[in-house]
Homo-oligomer: A and B are copies of this chain.
């Protein structure tokens, strides 16, 4: 199993530029990718696919979008590189569930037949559930279970700013709510610009910032390098 889980897609350098090298290494010579655009809500899926197609073309990878396929199940079962873009995690999960593609995607990636790249909502999707997404629940996905490719939750776009005048919860307070109700499930707060490279027996944190683990009532920060999963 080989996964690349990015916090975000856009940086000052441009769209997916900060991760171009990591994407090339994960692809390891594969020249075709299947893109899942369903997290896109306020942009149309054609336009979203075009943007990703252009970015991946820089690395010599041709992109087919799942929404253009007549037989989406067959497309998943033929893919060798599955790319899941960000947007709204609830919408992403809803459409994949409606199309019956969650279990096939898990099986395809777990078997090693396809590698997986996700960012933002696409990284949430790779975890056991979407219960640590930052997104608004704009649609009911019919259950929060996701692909369960890694044994921990991810919180993308992680930061813990206190916003002047804002009386709602900070990010750490929201994640403490999660760990209060699910004390056995670790969550990794993955900051902007960071990513995880996951293989069967190894999970490595990359990027400029410290990431933060949340488990039960404890938190601790980790810097780039191999991660011990606290389970």
Q: Which residues of A contact B (CB under 8 A)?
A: 7-11, 41-42, 87-88, 90-91, 120, 130-140, 143-144, 156-157, 159, 161, 163, 165-169, 173-178, 180-182, 192
Contacts and interface: CB of A to CB of B under 8 A. Distances in A.
Nearest to A174: B136
Contact of A173 (B42, B173, B192): B42
B166 A159 contact: yes
A91 B182 CA distance: 12
Contact of A156 (B168, B181, B192): B168
Nearest to A168: B157
Contacts of A165: 159, 192
A174 to B, nearest CB: 4
A137 B176 CA distance: 12
How many copies the complex holds: the figure is: 2
23 contacts: A7-B167, A8-B167, A9-B167, A42-B176, A42-B177, A42-B180, A130-B137, A131-B137, A132-B138, A133-B136, A134-B136, A134-B168, A135-B169, A136-B174, A136-B177, A137-B137, A137-B144, A140-B143, A140-B144, A157-B167, A157-B168, A159-B165, A163-B163
A42 B166 CA distance: 19
Contacts of A90: 137
A8 B167 CA distance: 7
Contact of A41 (B130, B136, B143, B177): B177
Nearest to A169: B135
A194 to B, nearest CB: 12
Given A136-B133, A175-B136, A167 B42 contact: no
